Amino acid sequence: MATTTTRDRIVAAAVEMTTSSGWAAVTMARLAEAAGVSRQTVYNEVGSKPALAETMILEELARFLGVVERAFDAEPTDLTRAIERSVADVLTYARANKLLHAVVSATHGADTELLPLLTTNAGSLLEAAKEVVRARVAPYAPTIEPAHLDPAIDMVVRVVLSHVMQPSASPEKTGSDIAWLAGRVLKD
């Protein structure tokens, strides 16, 4: 059983406040009260509010990437099928993700401070996702030219992120479509 740290409690309280009341409602004083610590402890553990936002997003990204890793583990011999399962599972997870919905739905109000972490300022998010996908694709030894592998992975990650933000079909259909395209590009 994992031990819950003070930092974990503070971040969990921030996620709860964001999903229930919006990011604008998250203050260091409210976090301190919810986590049962002093306001100074909140600052010591998570830093500034923008640093807290990045921490929340990166921790959620780690959960999404865990979904990706489990999907690849379930399809160890078929890269196209691993991609299909990974995309479908990620999109299914995204549908039920309260933090993601709070961030995306904020675009309809004034509370848009978190959205750039998933869109225009998503550099660290994209790099982390591409690193995991790159490591998971390598054992399949796709026949794509090495110089084209990174752009192909970048394309898949960006398309999946786009569907996370704005789905256009069921997770299964989108997973199938993206896997078909990726299979052609990767020459699996």
User: What percent of the chain has a predicted confidence (pLDDT) above 90?
Assistant: 62
Where does residue 13 rank: exposed (0-12), middle (13-18), buried (19+ CB within 10 A)?
Answer: buried
Report d(CA 186, CA 40) in Å as an integer. 51
Tokens of 39: 């306001």
67 and 136 Cβ atoms separated by less than 8 Å: no
Determine the pLDDT at residue 107.
45
Please give the average per-residue pLDDT across 41-68, as a whole number. Answer: 90
**Mean of the pLDDT values across residues 75-103?**
92
pLDDT at 100 over 70: yes
Give the predicted TM-score (pTM) of the model. 0.83
Dump pLDDT digits (tens) for 131-182: 999 999 999 999 999 899 999 999 999 999 889 988 999 999 999 999 999 9
Instruction: Give the Cα separation of 55 and 49 in Å (integer).
Output: 10
What pLDDT does 102 receive? 76
Give the separation between CA 58 and CA 35, rounded to whole angstroms.
20
User: Average pLDDT, whole number, for the chain?
Assistant: 87
Q: Say how many C-beta atoms besides its own lie within 10 A of residue 98's C-beta.
A: 13
Per-residue pLDDT at 188 exceeds 70: no
Assigned token pair, 5: 């740290």
Domain segments of the chain: what residues? Answer: 1-47, 56-186
Residue 90 binned pLDDT confidence (cut-offs 50, 70, 90): very high
Topology of the domain covering 1-47: Arc Repressor Mutant, subunit A (1.10.10)
